[in-house]
């Protein structure tokens, strides 16, 4: 908490900028026990990121000559900082906005969660959900949005950067939202399940996807790359491209085992179609074959695991976990403090990592 603090302040725009934003959001109104916005920021981060409670944090602050306040006063200050920390996170994201690589930005969409505290929250499985975009090849979080468990994951929640290639998992196979992203000037690469959508052929007739997979397997083909259409609730069917590849024998066996275990837990009968589809990786994309060959699409989707490493850094390196207390006014800035810190530390990842990056290799 004592080394490189000046550098942190500079990275966030300097003392004057911090003072202006703190006053705008009413996190810091006038000097009293706390002399300025920089001291307030240091105090709040010490509590949110440290292992100390309120009392221990105020004792630490007194011992280093930062500020002499009570634990109740610290809690009050914390509750006033939600909008300020949201603004600081937004500024840090804007300041690190990546440029497209080779004319295209690769953006991975996903979300992670932390539990809410309190018996009532645990009983109803209440969560804080952090909707995120992870940008490649910079390997930086490019967007955060904090909600509760009521807000589901949607492909178009995060604003589109024109020309980006947006990667998503099965949860993001949402035809109308995919259309919104494409209309905004982006392309998509989305993982799919065999019954995730209403598949159509060029004439608008229903297409049996599993039958297509079986035909390819019977002919000894381990790859499919063809046009496909998806029915939408609103508007004309969405014209896309189906890219599927047969998994290696070991991976296919593991996928079948997981499917059987899931059916057993859910108490339902496993269909033959599900077992056959488990042998394949199924992708849907708007990328054109003339620009991106089949191997390119598959390589793009393999980058999706990079966001999982980003979440791991957020939770293990920064220590993000369920915020203490049940009051949203204190829980929200607690989570935002961790998001701000990962944005400050991400530029140092290049110096810490020793393994070559998959994004560069691809």
Write the pLDDT tens digit of every residue in 52-62. 789 999 999 99
pLDDT of residue 16: 93
CA nearest neighbour of 139 among 104, 96, 171, 92: 96
pLDDT of residue 173: 95
pLDDT of residue 81: 93
Q: pLDDT, tens digit, for every residue of 239-289? A: 999 999 999 888 889 988 988 888 888 888 888 888 889 999 999 999 999
Q: pLDDT, tens digit, for every residue of 122-161? A: 888 889 999 999 988 777 898 999 998 899 899 999 999 9
pLDDT of residue 359: 38
Length of the chain (residues): 362
pLDDT of residue 355: 39
Token pair recorded at residue 71:
């634990």
C-alpha dihedral (26, 29, 32, 36), degrees to nearest 10:
80
Q: Is the pTM of this model over 0.75?
A: yes
Average pLDDT of each block of 10 consecutive residues along the chain (362 residues)? 77 92 92 91 90 89 92 93 90 63 79 87 87 86 90 93 93 95 96 93 93 91 94 94 92 88 84 90 95 91 86 83 82 88 73 42 35
pLDDT of residue 3: 63
Rounded to 5 degrees, φ, ψ at 99 are: -90, 150
CA nearest neighbour of 64 among 79, 50, 46, 81: 46
């Amino acid at each position: 908490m004592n080394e490189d603090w000046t550098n942190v302040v500079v990275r966030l725009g300097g003392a004057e900028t911090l003072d202006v934003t703190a006053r705008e959001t009413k996190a810091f109104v006038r000097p009293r026990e706390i002399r300025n916005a920089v001291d307030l920021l240091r105090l709040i981060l010490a509590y949110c990121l440290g292992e100390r409670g309120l009392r221990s944090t105020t004792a630490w602050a007194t011992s280093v000559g930062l500020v002499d306040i009570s634990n109740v006063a610290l809690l009050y200050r914390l509750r006033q900082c939600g909008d300020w920390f949201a603004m600081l996170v937004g500024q840090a994201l804007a300041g690190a906005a990546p440029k497209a690589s080779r004319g295209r930005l690769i953006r991975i969409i996903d979300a992670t969660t932390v539990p809410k505290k309190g018996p009532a929250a645990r009983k109803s499985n209440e969560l804080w959900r952090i909707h995120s975009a992870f940008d490649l090849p910079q390997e930086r979080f490019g967007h955060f949005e904090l909600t509760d468990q009521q807000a589901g994951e949607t492909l178009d929640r995060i604003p589109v950067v024109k020309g980006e290639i947006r990667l998503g998992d099965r949860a993001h196979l949402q035809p109308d939202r995919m259309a919104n992203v494409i209309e905004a000037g982006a392309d998509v690469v989305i993982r799919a399940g065999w019954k995730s959508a209403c598949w159509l052929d060029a004439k608008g007739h229903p297409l049996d996807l599993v039958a297509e997979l079986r035909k390819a397997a019977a002919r000894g083909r381990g790859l499919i790359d063809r046009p496909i259409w998806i029915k939408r609730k609103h508007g004309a069917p969405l014209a896309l491209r189906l890219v599927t590849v047969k998994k290696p024998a070991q991976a296919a066996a593991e996928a079948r085992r997981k499917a059987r275990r899931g059916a057993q837990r859910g108490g339902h009968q496993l269909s033959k179609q599900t077992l056959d589809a488990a042998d394949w990786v199924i992708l849907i994309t708007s990328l054109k074959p003339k620009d991106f060959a089949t191997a390119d699409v598959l390589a793009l989707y393999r980058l999706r695991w990079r966001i999982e490493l980003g979440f791991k850094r957020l939770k293990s390196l920064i220590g993000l976990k369920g915020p203490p207390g049940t009051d949203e006014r204190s829980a929200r800035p607690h989570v935002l403090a961790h998001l701000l810190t990962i944005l400050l530390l991400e530029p140092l990842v290049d110096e810490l990592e020793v393994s070559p990056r998959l994004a560069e290799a691809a």
